[in-house]
Structure 1
């Protein structure tokens, strides 16, 4: 018999970790309406699979990242969040969740960086999001279902690509 999930516990945990939902939705969509829709879909799918959450196997945040990224990547593959065009920068409240608030002189560079991140493939975007969240390679591997070695290799390549793009953007803007 399948165990019935505790809706109150789920709502409390989701509220405590809503930043994860907003970060993922912000990184995988272009427009505010799409972000809201994706955030709602992530919440719905998290509730549907909450009965499968096992705190002995993973922290809620790790489990929620996995659900959120799977939903976002699935929607992207179905064409419900195509980022082939110009990527709109994340709104300030999303940036606040990602890290410390940027200084005014850093705003433009941060916007350019997030534009480049938005142009990465779905898995690379997930990797860099988790890396920027200071997740360990082991946690990233667990969330994405890949090996720690694969995480390290991919993050190294992504950083190199982003570094090159940032240098190119700085040179073009000078």
Structure 2
């Protein structure tokens, strides 16, 4: 049973790991912190996975766990991430390698987004992932109308940041 659960988890995580990488990018400033946060999110996902009931899509559930982990760690320590030991989790995940040069064009946007508060960052991230306002509201625990209003305000804020 454990091996089947582990196999299912690893398969889902590999399929949707870009979600975690993008969240890590939003909440960290360097490769080491990114890797530490990715590891911590993976551990939290694995710990929570047995309780995943499938009421929502795996990716929606993953967004919520990953964002909550990132926000919690970000608030605890703005600079240093303290992670848990990885000894208890023995599976291997084929990590995709990001080419920083390919993503260089996104740096200005990420820099502007990092100036937003934690909830607004999460909302922008989900919006950029083409999540519907319904999915965004479910993930963040806010109303759909609130998600739309917040996104419109965030767009104006980002325009002001990018074009002072």
> Normalised by the shorter chain, which TM-score bucket?
0.7 to 0.9
The alpha-carbon deviation at position 111 of structure 1 amounts to: 2.2
1:59 aligned residue: 57
Task: Name stretches of at least 5 consecutive residues in structure 1 with no aligned partner.
Answer: 83-91, 169-174
When the two structures are aligned, how many residues end up with a matched partner? 147
Is 1:157 aligned with 2:161? no
1:147 aligned residue: 143
Which of the numbers 122, 125, 131 marks the counterpart of 1:126?
Answer: 122
**C-alpha spacing 1:94/1:19, structure 2 compared with 1 (3 Å):** farther
1:116 aligned residue: 112
The alpha-carbon deviation at position 30 of structure 1 amounts to: 0.7
Look up the SS of the partner of 2:126 in the other structure.
Answer: helix
Measure the CA separation in 2 of the matches of 1:66 and 1:60. Answer: 10
The alpha-carbon deviation at position 93 of structure 1 amounts to: 2.5
RMSD: 2.3
Q: TM-score, normalised by structure 1?
A: 0.77
Task: Name stretches of at least 5 consecutive residues in structure 2 with no aligned partner.
Answer: 81-96
Query: Which of structure 1's runs of 4+ aligned residues deviate more than 3 A?
Result: none
Measure the CA separation in 2 of the matches of 1:31 and 1:20. Answer: 17
